[in-house]
Structure 1
Amino acid sequence: MEPGVWDVEGGEPSRSAAISLSCHSEAAAEESLPCRCERTRERSLAAARDDKIPGSVVNPARLTSNTHNPNNSRPPSLVPRPQPFIPSSPDSILARDCHALLVERYGDDPAARERLDHELALVRKHGLAGFFLVYRDIMRLAREVAVEVRGNGPRANNALPPGRGRGSSVSSIICYLIGLSHIDPLRHNLYIGRFLNEEMASVPDIDLDFPREIRERLIARIYEVYGNDRAALVCAFPTYHIRSAIRDIGKVLGLPATDLDRLAKLSERASADHLAEEMERLPEFQSRRDAPLWRELIDLSTQIAGLPRHVTQHSGGMVISSQPLVELVPVQPAAMEGRYVCQWDKDSCDDARFIKIDFLALGMLSLVEECLELIVETGKGQVDLSRIDFEDSEVYDMICRGDTIGVFQIESRAQIQSLLRTQPRNLEDLIVQVSIVRPGPIIGGAVNPYIRARQQLRREGRVTATYDHPLLEPVLRETYGGILYQEQVLEVAVALAGFSAGQADSLRRAMSRKRSLAAMDRLWDQFRDGAAGKGVDETIALRVFEKLLGFAAYGFPKSHAAAFAVLAYQSCWLRFYYPAEFTCALFNNQPMGFYPPHAFANDAKRHGVSILLPDVNRSAGPCAVEGQAVRIGLGHVDGLSEEIARAVVAERQRGGPYQSLIDLARRSRLRREAVEHLIIVGACDSFGLRRRELLWQLGLFLPDRRVGPVKQPAAWQLALDLPTGQDMVALAGMTDWERMIADYDILGLSPHHHPLALLRPALPQPLVRAADLERGRDGGLVRLAGLVVCRQRPATAKGLMFMLLEDETGLANVIVHQPVYEEHRAVVRGYPFLIVTGRLQLRDGTVNIIAQDVVAIDRPHASGPQVTEPIAALLSQAGRLGELSGDISDEQLTELRLAAPASHDFH
């Protein structure tokens, strides 16, 4: 081995223990660790020795200098030829096609022609015509794939494009004309400098959203057309955070899995090097910090914090090249046969000027496609979403009420609160709404000024906006002085510091990639000097620069927000006019969005859409619409895969309705567990027996074989002449409580019973219902019980925890401040059913409970507290508020906790 070239695994002896982590991924035997540690020790010593010998590391240096630097620009030959290849200049082809399409879209519009000529000039300068033509070809492939996926059924004529653009590319008129975007950049005044500019350092990004089915088929088609040696998915390198470090290292150390899981769930810091602090804050783990294995867990977590955990596939990125990729970048097989992954992440591929395409699967597009199909199937006609009224006052009334559960982008708790305060009334307002609840605008201090401006506009018909400097008014006028869009970062740098568009984009990129403090200092020097040249005081320049830094945390381009706002409105329109079809499509496209399925079901019921239990003789595989109701599909029953559900339905269509449980078992060949689940949730109620009677009958003839399919039907007792009618043994029906538990356990939702409705008689009183909160007194003390739907503790919230609780009447927002959170952390984070006591906050149409005490709904109490004194006395009973009285048993409460659907937690 030559000097300086070693496969050093630990780096130095002090970190050798970290090698043991490879046991988790490589299944290395424990006895192999000593020799590996010794090998690392020897290499570390050799490295120290060679550091003292001049020239000992010259070979690696020479090797590095001769290796291609991925940050250098790639030659134009990397761009694949358009399909089919036309022996003409790519620039002339692109210009010809765009000018022809310009006349179709804009007629003789001078502004549109000027914008197109400007973009084409930039494309020529940077040699990007072939790049755009490849994208044009890919969208043509997508149209072919969409025809195949949609078939000849109701989806065939839905007029939806196969995919939609997102991100900064939506600002391009070229993308709009050749079908890569559905948003008119002139109508929405979209800034092109974020996507194309004179000093571009990398190939621009064009991100495309597709329905899931079309995306999967399209990726396969890309490999067919360009060759699997010239196309590969982009990789990503997930790094060790506190939760993954706890689970991975703890497993290697042999610590109890239940303890590790609980510690991981209760830990909130992102970085693994804060584990000691997290354990100190958790009473049940404080005493373990000094135990040898737990101490080692802390030390190793600190060592691996931020290091790559594994290589994974990027959510949608794909590179295409004119040369075999193995000559340009390391490549490995993907999990799916016939696909490959390059071992560079998206930023490295971007720096290397690869053609990188993001094929993103957007669940809402799949939902919209299915919803339009259901509208046709239910006899309500064909809907063209490009021609609906985008100024429908009734739809905006729904949006302004915050009635947006299940729609795209504006359904979260924070978004609903913002909707209530800003009252959007058109598409431009929705574009802001899509952008505003993001870390960038929040950290940059743009949210509250915008909300105040909107409220002033409604109140007085005018806005008195404040700008840090008069030079900023032209670029920040539409957002009332705040920076809400990525493009505004560029425009502010141009207007205030005299940056070119290319310099401004370099500033944005450096900020978004979190470059070093030294790099930020250099950027500040440039910004300060440029601002000084325009007569801007350094104090003002620094204030604006800090806002730009804050915005760089994460924010949307306006072009991206415009694309999403259109889809947000379309989803709202469908939800308002076709609630049953929308709800059905929503169920069939889970997981998606902010809420778990049971919250969607309860919201649908509040809007007049009934949820019907699955039925072996009526349900399809997916959920289906029946009038103004949604029938749960057999594929949504735990234990029945989509394939099995389709087989059950196909047999019913072939041989007619199932006449009895025995008939179902004979013909479907389902496993016993699957049949049990169908019985328990009522899918076999049409056979005329109670559910317990059906379970008893099932036990007579179907063996309990839960592992693998039954290979020998002859082993079943299905051929016996068993009674199938009402002369079976009579057993009691299931109680409402039992049905609810079964529904949540097997379906994840209960169509007819909410847990709080059944728990309420046993809960301490008085309790307010969620639907009654808006009629309360601002500042009044209230107490509410509910099922936790979601939890959020974002880094931008200064320690606040936001919870959404649901009872049988609706949803309630709860805000938990830091002191209350620290006092009740285990309860707030770990229990599904809570009782919250706090002050009611009614502000700008929003309703919140500011928590002062949080308790879990606890075990039954023989004489549980029946509170009749003034509500101010409630806080003195904090230790007993969660105790139950009445007829709810310990066993029932345990069943409920186990069956309760998990909340959706965000950080």
Structure 2
Amino acid sequence: MDYAELHCHSYYSFHDGASSLEELVLRAQELGYRALAVTDHDNLCGAMCFANLAASTGMKGIIGAEITVSPDKGVLFSTGRDGKAGDEVSPYHLTLLAENRTGYGNLSRLITAAHANGERNCPELPSALLQSHSEGLIALSGCSQGELSRLVEQERMEEARELVHRYLDWFGPDNYFIELQHNLVFGDTLRIRALTGLARETGAGLVATGNVHYHVRERHRLQDCLVAIKHCKSLEETHRERRPNSEFYLRERGIIEALFRECPEAVENTVKIAERCHLDLTHELSYSFPDYNAPDGHTPESYLESLCCEAAVRRYGSVTPAVRTRLDEEFRLINKYKLAGFLLLYHEVIKLGREVMIDLGLSDPSLTVEENPPGRGRGSSVSLLVGYLIGLSHIDPLTYNLSLERFLPDDVMNNVPDIDLDFPRSIREELILRTHTKWGWERAVLAGTIVTYRIRGAVRDLGKALGLPLTDIDRLAKQLSWGSAKKLESEMVKAPGFQEKMSLPGWRDLLALAPELDAFPRCMGQHPGGMVISSSPLTDIVPVQRGAIEGRYVCQWDKDSIDDAGFVKIDFLALGTLSQLQEAVEIIKERTGKRLDMSRINFDDPAVYDMLGSGDTIGIFQVESSAQMQTVTRLQPRNLTDMAHEVGAVRPGVGANNGVQEYLARRSKRKPVTYDTPLEQRALERTLGVVLFQDQVNQLAIDVAGFTASEADRMR
């Protein structure tokens, strides 16, 4: 009999699911499942990763969630897992599956509402919201912790019937199913019989699910430990919180068929429901670049060009032929990729940063953005003259003949352009809060981060769960190096006083479980400054929740999922050096009455390069490490281009291929400048035939291998 698993928790059900998405998908394929639904607790953190994984493996993936819902008054149950009635009101679980894009949007909004309604990290969805957000969703009544199961176990059958009819009315008769789970737990058989009878009375459909928490039975030991870790207790102290047996895994179809032999339609319905779900998150997100409302009489394109021409007059005295030629080329590409609104959005962020600086007394209101920009662009975006003119960068790309190919390829653009902005530490926090305020927390949110287990965290948490002496665990953790938990055995062999413990009970379990826990998600955090901005509410695409810092809001996707979704992400990076420069400029103004334009200072001051060449670089950003000191004294830079070569040379990729020694030998004329082929000359001439920069890799691919600009960037 065919089967689709519709209730499954991955390790994104933090400290509850004990298998990765990859393990679950591959095991479901081995078992011949028709489909797999991932229904993590109150989050969609793994949704994009799961969608990509399902697409790449050919496994049909269904996106869902197990939602925590605020109960109606009078629903009583115990906090344990023995199924006995208690005397306190507590939330219950409801399984929701996204049938289509509309349902996915409703699911995302419901999860957002649950996090907004409950305490932080304790989401609770008001049940009244279900009716207005039911379109496109298929609801399953939930596990033994569902409201319906509790009512049935308490023999409150009239209330149970009323509840079923309410959900049938909210979701529709074809979209609400009574969920049957048989994990060989005491009470499962009686509950299934009662729920089956209730379905017959009310006309509701039945569906079998496994309430899966790990892909194979052997992983139940790790799942027990995760639950103990979640409750900050040991295994001995968490018998009531942990699952009663090891039956919550992906089971063979023959076992499932036998368990539900008295109700075969419940198994058949799993496939019917799976066939109805046709959401492809990799193609149906419907995200678009943020709109920009240009002033009357302007389109975004014409307004951006107007801003650039005005700034060019201030910068260069006029729109010179060289400026005009470069702007024409850039606007051709900007219009081709419809990036005018995207760049104007960054301009708005820079203006917002300027307002913060003025309000904090850190900038003169009479200065233009390009005269005293609050932030500094970094990376390939500084090659854009438009960026220089609207305040995104302080580097003049015409002066240094910077190439556009990496940032704006002419043939095709595979990803959203990436512009990182460095801001002084003194303004970044306020800038983030004002960004939330300007666009609204539903349209401007911080990117999420997934904090994962490494060796020390795994040892500390598992050690406590296993009941090992805390003093020993602390001593061991302090002796371990950083890195993967998979190397715990080799690390313990070298740790004084622990080699003899490795064969003892408890310690053997630690050695076995730590590698399994390696790289598991520990919790969801917030990116220090990466913000996603959208014209339409992001809550239709990804759930949003409150951050740990007051006033911040975080989406449930990390940077990888955000990149896969094609979101516009602006990185607000804090750089202490900018705070120091800012302070220095103010001190100079107080003493001399003149304000320095940092983009127009003398970059060829010989006294500065004498200092750098002598190795006096302590406290100087980017050149204070021992490797930088050794290189700068040998290279003896005399201009900004030399400094760029020096900083670029001290990178792992250059050093791994003896690039530093080769460059220094050619620079000192101890070796001639040579090329393997004349086709390399255009890319490498400026660095004496040695690859120092990433854009040179792109240019080599174009000139030597005949790649297009986009192909070269993918290769890089």
Pairwise TM-score range, normalised by the shorter structure: 0.5 to 0.7
Which residue matches 2:176? none
Which residue matches 1:485? 693
Letter in 2 for 1:308: P
Correspondence 1:418 to 2:420:
no
Secondary structure at the aligned position of 2:532 is classed as strand
Which residue matches 2:522? 309
Confirm or deny: 8 A CA contact 1:12 1:41 kept in the other structure: no
The 3 A distance-change label for structure 1 pair 64 and 257 is farther
Secondary structure at the aligned position of 1:448 is classed as helix
Aligned residues: 500
Correspondence 1:90 to 2:300:
yes
Deviations 1:856-902 (A, max 9, x none): xxxxxxxxxxxxxxxxxxxxxxxxxxxxxxxxxxxxxxxxxxxxxxx
The 3 A distance-change label for structure 1 pair 490 and 256 is farther
Confirm or deny: 8 A CA contact 2:545 2:554 kept in the other structure: yes
CA shift for structure 1 position 191 = 2.1
CA shift for structure 1 position 258 = 4.8
CA shift for structure 1 position 75 = 5.0
Confirm or deny: 8 A CA contact 2:455 2:486 kept in the other structure: yes
Correspondence 1:272 to 2:485:
yes
Deviations 1:434-487 (A, max 9, x none): 222222222344222122223x24xx6xx6124333321220122222222111
CA shift for structure 1 position 292 = 2.3
CA shift for structure 1 position 499 = 0.7
Secondary structure at the aligned position of 1:41 is classed as coil
Correspondence 1:186 to 2:186:
no
CA shift for structure 1 position 160 = 3.7
The 3 A distance-change label for structure 1 pair 499 and 288 is same
Which residue matches 1:342? 555
CA shift for structure 1 position 379 = 7.9
The counterpart of 2:706, out of the listed 498, 501, 526, is: 498
Correspondence 1:15 to 2:219:
yes
CA shift for structure 1 position 34 = 7.3
Confirm or deny: 8 A CA contact 2:227 2:241 kept in the other structure: no
CA shift for structure 1 position 371 = 3.3
Matches within 5 A, 1:134-145: 134-145=345-356
Which residue matches 1:66? 279
Deviations 1:187-214 (A, max 9, x none): 2222212211131122111111111121
Matches within 5 A, 1:637-648: none
CA shift for structure 1 position 283 = 4.0
Letter in 2 for 1:274: K
Which residue matches 1:820? none
TM-score normalised according to structure 2 size? 0.64
Letter in 1 for 2:247: R
Secondary structure at the aligned position of 1:341 is classed as strand
Which residue matches 1:408? 621
CA shift for structure 1 position 498 = 0.7
Correspondence 1:101 to 2:311:
yes
Which residue matches 1:176? 388
CA shift for structure 1 position 95 = 2.6
Which residue matches 1:233? 446
Confirm or deny: 8 A CA contact 1:91 1:124 kept in the other structure: yes
CA shift for structure 1 position 153 = 9.4
Secondary structure at the aligned position of 2:571 is classed as strand
The 3 A distance-change label for structure 1 pair 371 and 12 is same
Correspondence 1:286 to 2:499:
yes
Confirm or deny: 8 A CA contact 2:291 2:341 kept in the other structure: yes
Confirm or deny: 8 A CA contact 2:8 2:213 kept in the other structure: no
| Aligned mates of 1:156, 1:254 — CA distance in 2 | 63
Confirm or deny: 8 A CA contact 2:308 2:389 kept in the other structure: yes
Secondary structure at the aligned position of 1:502 is classed as helix
Letter in 2 for 1:175: G
The 3 A distance-change label for structure 1 pair 63 and 250 is farther
Which residue matches 1:122? 333
**What stretches of structure 1 of length at least 5 have no aligned partner?**
509-907
| Aligned mates of 2:306, 2:552 — CA distance in 1 | 35
| Aligned mates of 1:438, 1:260 — CA distance in 2 | 37
Which residue matches 1:131? 342
CA shift for structure 1 position 431 = 1.0
By percentage of residues, which structure has more helix? Answer: 1
Secondary structure at the aligned position of 1:170 is classed as helix
Which residue matches 1:44? 250
- Identity in percent: 44
Secondary structure at the aligned position of 1:315 is classed as strand
The counterpart of 1:196, out of the listed 408, 419, 424, is: 408
CA shift for structure 1 position 266 = 3.6
Confirm or deny: 8 A CA contact 1:172 1:185 kept in the other structure: yes
The 3 A distance-change label for structure 1 pair 297 and 130 is same
Which residue matches 1:476? 684
Letter in 2 for 1:268: S
Q: RMSD across aligned C-alpha pairs, in angstroms?
A: 3.2
The 3 A distance-change label for structure 1 pair 98 and 399 is same
TM-score normalised according to structure 1 size? 0.51
Confirm or deny: 8 A CA contact 1:24 1:248 kept in the other structure: yes
Confirm or deny: 8 A CA contact 2:443 2:537 kept in the other structure: yes
Which residue matches 2:85? none
By relative contact order (CA 8 Å, sep 6+), the higher-ranking structure is 2
The 3 A distance-change label for structure 1 pair 42 and 161 is closer
| Aligned mates of 2:418, 2:227 — CA distance in 1 | 36
CA shift for structure 1 position 150 = 2.1
| Aligned mates of 2:388, 2:531 — CA distance in 1 | 22
Letter in 2 for 1:188: Y
CA shift for structure 1 position 240 = 2.0
Matches within 5 A, 1:746-825: none
Matches within 5 A, 1:206-217: 206-217=419-430
The 3 A distance-change label for structure 1 pair 170 and 61 is farther
Letter in 2 for 1:149: L
Which residue matches 2:511? 298
CA shift for structure 1 position 51 = 10
**What stretches of structure 2 of length at least 5 have no aligned partner?**
10-211, 259-263
Which residue matches 1:329? 542
| Aligned mates of 1:392, 1:341 — CA distance in 2 | 45
Deviations 1:228-272 (A, max 9, x none): 121100011132222222233233334444544443344336221
Letter in 2 for 1:169: S
Matches within 5 A, 1:215-226: 215-226=428-439
Confirm or deny: 8 A CA contact 1:155 1:369 kept in the other structure: no
Deviations 1:347-383 (A, max 9, x none): 3222322221111111111122233445566789755
Deviations 1:756-803 (A, max 9, x none): xxxxxxxxxxxxxxxxxxxxxxxxxxxxxxxxxxxxxxxxxxxxxxxx
The 3 A distance-change label for structure 1 pair 400 and 142 is same
Secondary structure at the aligned position of 1:434 is classed as helix
Which residue matches 1:6? 8
Letter in 2 for 1:500: T
Letter in 1 for 2:356: V
Which residue matches 1:367? 580
CA shift for structure 1 position 2 = 7.8
